[in-house]
Amino acid sequence: MQDVSVIWYRIYYWWIVFVSLILSIAIILVNYFPSLRKIRTDFALNPSVIMLAVLCLIFCAIVYRRLKADNRSSVALLSIVFFLLMLLYGIQNSTASGSLAYIAILLITIGFSSLYGTPVLVATSFGTVAYILIISNFQQSGPAPEKVILIFGTILVTFISWWVWARLSIHYTTKTGDRLSILLETSEEKSEIIIQSISDGVIVFDKTGKITLINAAAATLTEWSTADAIGLDAHLVLKVFNEDGSHLNVKDDLLSIANNKKEIVTRTVIIHGHVSRQTIVSLVISPLLIPPNNEAEGAVAVFRDITKAKQEERQRSDFISTASHEMRSPVAAIEGYLALALNPQLGTIDTKAREYLEKAHESTQHLGQLFQDLLTSAKAEDGRLTSHPVVLEVGSFLEQLTDSLKLVAQQKKLSLEFRTGRKSDITDATEIGGSSRSVRPLYYVFADPDRLQEVITNIFDNAIKYTDHGGIVIGLTGNDDTVQLYISDTGQGIPADDIQHLFQKFYRVDNAESRTIGGTGLGLFICAKIIDLYHGNIRVESKLGKGSTFYINLPHIDTAQARQLRAHEPDITKRYR
């Protein structure tokens, strides 16, 4: 095929359809109007011609439009066969005037056939010349003048056609940049080529959950052939399990998304193949919206094989866990001996030596915290983070936790306050430190109080580090669906460019203050992972010089749900009720 605009292919296609249609209509007309019988003789309009014209129309209307782009040369060759037979039959059996008309049409057709490549052009030209010579030999006479014109005209048009389309191809390819632009000219070809070329699995479902499209990658991962999967229900082909082995009914998500335009669902799951294959994938399900009104007509599931990445991640986590665990013992021993050395009741050391030992002790404590954070982050990544959720009344929990943290704030001459109500109550640093009393509603969540305390304490410690004056507020608010905890400070704030990366592993804001204070860059990452355990989310709002506020949203459970859950939980952790 030549790399030219798709418009030329369409012109050629409609040229064949137009000529075949005109001949078909002409044959019908001459049968009903006796005055047109001379046209029948001149153009040999008989049943053989109409049969070939109808076959050509049927082929163009049904077969041509259905074959893939990479089979176009074959399609063109087959369509030209019917068309050439019709024209050559007309040339052979019509009068001189009709024969010249057929020759003109034939030469135009040969000129366009080079669109589909040199093989099609050569086959068309050679077939035409061979037919004329063979027929003339059977008639035991030399070719008629019009047939000689056809032979030489065919040879001439062949060379002209090859030269013209080759030049147009070079020009168009230079203009568009590459051949891909040509292959993707039509939306039908574009969809087919792109979907089949994607290495991720793609399955399209209708509103009833039945598969309407599945690409090659999806067929490989699910171990279903494309032909067999089309028309089947989602749960029969896409057998999805959670990482803990529990079955996941993906059809419910698909139907909800397809009919209600639900938000995109993203999960890491295991797909069980039709035979025996099991693959860990990242699964994304989104609604299939049809313009211009963006009506939901189905859903699209896209999944990527992440088995190898998960294995490598697990190996890294195992290494970090083992290394952190093994290193904590000698670090703890060093820290213990340093503490003994600094104990005045066990020995006397001079001031300079004490200063060195205190710095060594601080560094050892920091190193021990680093190993602990590495161990916790490794467990959080591979799902081994222990959690014992219970029904927790968040107001009592936060009030007690705030009281225990006040001494730390006072040591840095900062105020610390527990508040209930909206964050909008805090508008300026000068307001922090005032009193606020109100009747507090009961907010219940289902979470591990020790893990939640770890999150609050981590964010509070950061607020203490980066706040030099003013104070910190730990607050609580919520509604029927969500319980919101917030920790607000009057510190230096966080640059806007850093906020989106703040909960990433090992990410730290790069400024003079953070470099002086130090840290592992794991604290907020661990916080986000812990909140994920309870189907919540964490975010931050901050302005430079104005302070920062961290928001933690957790699902709210009502009093009836709280009673029901408490009836089935062990008799522990009741101090926050």
Per-residue pLDDT of 220-229, as tens digits, reads 999 999 888 9
Neighbouring C-beta atoms of residue 522, cutoff 10 Å? 23
The pLDDT of 240-259, averaged and rounded, is: 75
3-class secondary-structure state, position 379: helix
Average pLDDT on 420-445 reads 57
pLDDT surpassing 70 at residue 516: no
Lowest mean pLDDT among 229-243, 413-427, 452-466, 506-520: 506-520
Supply φ then ψ for residue 229, to 5 degrees.
-75, -30
H-run or E-run covering 366: helix 351-381
Amino acid sitting at position 481: D
Looking at the predicted structure, is the pLDDT value of residue 76 above 70?
A: no
Mean pLDDT computed over 236-253: 79
Q: What percent of the chain has pLDDT over 70?
A: 78
The two structure tokens encoding residue 472: 């910190």
Specify the pLDDT at position 69. Answer: 44
- Range name among 91-95, 207-211, 525-529 with the lowest pLDDT average: 91-95
pLDDT digits (tens, 9 = 90+) for 395-420: 999 999 999 999 999 988 999 999 98
482-515 pLDDT, tens digit per residue, is 999 999 999 988 888 888 888 887 777 755 455 4
Give the pLDDT of residue 402. Answer: 93
What is the reported pLDDT for 567?
79
Looking at residue 553, what is its pLDDT? Answer: 94
Q: Is the pLDDT of residue 544 over 70?
A: yes
Q: What is the mean pLDDT of the chain?
A: 77
C-alpha closest to that of 481 among 433, 535, 424: 535
- β-bridge partners, 472: 416, 489
Say if residue 59's pLDDT is above 50. Answer: yes
Per-residue pLDDT at 278 exceeds 50: yes
Nearest-angstrom CA–CA distance, 192 and 70: 11
Q: How far apart are CA 288 and CA 484, in angstroms?
A: 33
> Contact 190/69 with Cβ under 8 angstroms?
no
* For range 239-253, the mean pLDDT: 78
pLDDT of residue 152: 79
pLDDT at 575: 45
Integer Cα distance of 128 and 113 in angstroms: 13
Strand order in 211-214's β-sheet?
211-214, 201-205, 295-305, 278-290, 265-272, 239-241, 247-248
Q: Any idea of the CA torsion for 540, 546, 547, 549, to the nearest 10 degrees?
A: -40
**Average pLDDT, stretch 199-228?**
89
Query: Quick one: pLDDT at residue 70?
Result: 44
| pLDDT for residue 473 is more than 90 | yes
Per-residue confidence (pLDDT) for residue 68, from 0 to 100: 44
Query: Which of 206-210, 263-267, 281-285, 469-473 is predicted with the least confidence, judged by mean pLDDT?
Result: 263-267
pLDDT class of 62 with cuts at 50, 70, 90: low
Lowest mean pLDDT among 162-176, 296-310, 477-491: 162-176
**300-357, pLDDT tens digit by residue?**
889 999 988 888 877 777 777 777 767 777 888 888 888 888 888 777 788 888 888 8
**Helices and strands in the chain, H and E counts:** 21, 14
- Stronger pLDDT, 476 or 363, i.e. the higher one: 476
> What does the pLDDT average to over 87-109?
80
Average pLDDT (137-164) is 70
The whole-angstrom separation of Cα 172 and Cα 2 is 10
Q: How far apart are CA 477 and CA 485, in angstroms?
A: 7
Q: Cα separation of 64 and 12, whole Å?
A: 12
- Distance separating alpha carbons of residues 208 and 218, to the nearest angstrom: 20
Tokens of 323: 């290394």
pLDDT band for position 122 (cuts 50, 70, 90): confident
Task: Give the residue-averaged pLDDT of 163-174.
Answer: 64
Contacts made by residues 41-45, CB under 8 angstroms, sequence distance 24+: 41/94, 41/95, 42/94, 42/95, 42/97, 42/98, 43/90, 43/94, 43/98, 43/101, 43/102, 44/89, 44/90, 44/92, 44/93, 44/94, 44/98
**Weakest mean pLDDT among 162-176, 280-294, 297-311, 361-375:** 162-176
Instruction: State the DSSP H helix or E strand holding residue 533, giving kind and residue range, or none if neither.
Output: helix 523-533
Report the distance separating Cα 36 and Cα 25, nearest Å: 13
What is the pLDDT at residue 172?
53
> What pLDDT does residue 125 have?
78
User: What tens digit of pLDDT does each residue of 378-390 get?
Assistant: 777 666 777 888 9
pLDDT score at 169: 62
Instruction: Supply the pLDDT for residue 488.
Output: 94
Angle between helices 523-533 and 351-381 (to 10 degrees): 40
Instruction: Determine the pLDDT at residue 432.
Output: 39
Q: What are phi and psi of 242, to 5 degrees?
A: -70, 165
